[in-house]
Amino acid sequence: MGSSIHTLGELRRARTSATGLRRRSVKDEVRENLIEKLRAGETLFPGIIGYEETVIPQLVNAILSRHNFILLGLRGQAKSRILRGLIDLLDDTIPVVPGCEIHDDPLEPLCAGCRARVAAEGDKLPLAWLPRDLRFVEKLATPDVTIADMVGDIDPIKAARAGLGLSDELTMHYGLLPRANRGIFAINELADLAGKIQVGLFNILQEGDIQIKGYPVRLRLDLLMVFTANPEDYTARGKIITPLKDRIGSEIRTHYPLTRDHAMAITGQEAWLSRHADGRQLEIPPYLREIVEEIAFQARAERKIDKRSGVSQRMPITCLENVVSNAERRALMADENPIVPRVTDIYSAIPSLTGKFELEYEGELRGADNVARDLIRAAVGAIFAERFDCVETRRVIEWFDMGGTLQIADISSAAELIKQARCVQGLVELADHLGLKSDAPPPLLASAVDFILEGLYAQKKITRSDERGYHAAEQQSRRPPRQTETSLDDSLPMPSSGKKKYYN
């Protein structure tokens, strides 16, 4: 549309013609473009997984209602991503007065500069076309954000140079909000914004008006305002001024993935896994993806971890990337193909986990690394229980009980691991339950064996030293079995599906 219109006169004629461009507010524009997408059955907010029946319908209703809205949710719930997705609902381009800092509409300019230009140049005024991605302004709220940052300031030097009074509009230095005019303004973590600035926002939501340093500069901005906040901060008394809250049309709650399948789909989409390590293939066993995801689910339910700040979905994403990197490193050193991550690689990925949660006091006592280790072990236990619940593992446990030990290193090659594992009666054969025959590619088989050993370790049927030596579980703690069950459960909460069995 824009390409054929170059001047104000052409725009005026196009807009008055039967098929012309109608002048509309940002909220109408977004609403009408959304209606188009709904009618065409298009996927709304592509790439946002697991919100189809919860968040997205509420979001659609807020937009159809022409509301300014807020997303309430914990970290890593795709809030910012949803807000950026609103860009898709803007027109491809809109006409603006070239060079105007607040993207004035040539037909209805707000600022003094543009009004003067339109008066002087009339229909010959050239136009610029503003693409939609430049119409989204995002600001992370912090307590030190000032009115000058947000709304603007008077520039005394500019005034002096031009010989203008300070109250003259031409002396203004615009803040983020006026610069977002005719677009979407997103403020993340609204509760961190000082009360004074919240009042400023309220004025804009109320009147569409800004005032700068008390000067009666009236700018009727056209904006869609959207926010995010942590739900507890938002509802805490005194964090958000009531009139501002009252002006936010809809509050929409986001959430973490409700199912492991959704979570795995998100991680699969976001994690950087399409690597070309020296031409080697990457094969991630399904149980490994499940365990990485289960860590986040365990973490969100863990009482040592602060529930108010949440456990970001970035946790499984960075974890899986790090797991794959450890496998990549091993494959390069042992010259193996394909690259197959192992469960023990997850322990090497602890640096990708510890920054993704805040600890409660009890967790601080235990230490972030240990909390992460406990989470991994619990996750392995849960997935192992799902896969091996009805599988007889007694022969393997007996082998260790008879004094057998197995020493495996982080960088042991697949061939080496399997060679050692073959000494243990029935161990390699258990991989059959993961769909792997004994002639499967060694890296896959080695990963399966590693999973089984780690699963038995997670279920405390065998023990493992820090140096990754596997041996029998402590005898006195395994006999009699009843006592064992209580004493072990104290130290490691196992999911109910991970019921332990003892084979003595």
Closest CB 161 distance from Zn ion, rounded Å: 19
Closest to Zn ion by CB, 34 vs 111, is 111
Closest CB 1 distance from Zn ion, rounded Å: 22
Site membership for Zn ion, residue 154 (CB under 5 A): no
Closest CB 232 distance from Zn ion, rounded Å: 41
Query: What DSSP assignment string belongs to 309-362?
Result: T---THHHHHHHHHHHHHHHHHHHHHT-SSB---HHHHHHTGGGTGGG--B-HH
Asked if 463 contacts 475 with a C-beta cutoff of 8 angstroms, the reply is no
Contacts with Zn ion, 219-258, as mask; x by CB under 5 A: ----------------------------------------
Closest to Zn ion by CB, 164 vs 415, is 164
Site membership for Zn ion, residue 421 (CB under 5 A): no
Secondary structure E strands in 425-485? 462-464, 469-472
Helix (H) or strand (E) holding 254: none
Closest to Zn ion by CB, 71 vs 102, is 102
Site membership for Zn ion, residue 114 (CB under 5 A): yes
Closest to Zn ion by CB, 182 vs 356, is 182
Binding region for Zn ion (CB under 5 A) out of 59-67, 112-120, 183-191, 322-330: 112-120
Helices (H), 225-270: 231-235, 242-247, 260-270
Number of residues that bind Zn ion (CB under 5 A): 4
Site membership for Zn ion, residue 30 (CB under 5 A): no
CA–CA gap between residue 33 and residue 42 (Å, rounded)? 11
| Residue 362 in tokens | 């009890």
Amino acid at 365: L
Backbone dihedral angles phi then psi of residue 360, each to the nearest 5 degrees? -75, 175
**Residue from 49, 86, 111, 375 binding Zn ion (CB under 5 A):** 111
Backbone dihedral angles phi then psi of residue 174, each to the nearest 5 degrees? -75, 140
Closest CB 111 distance from Zn ion, rounded Å: 3
Distance of CA 216 to the CA centre of its chain: 41
Closest CB 211 distance from Zn ion, rounded Å: 18
Closest to Zn ion by CB, 119 vs 409, is 119
Closest CB 132 distance from Zn ion, rounded Å: 19
> In the range 69-108, which residues lie near Zn ion by CB under 5 A?
100, 104
Q: Which of 73, 69, 79, 117 is nearest to 97 (CA)?
A: 117
Residues that bind Zn ion (CB under 5 A): 100, 104, 111, 114
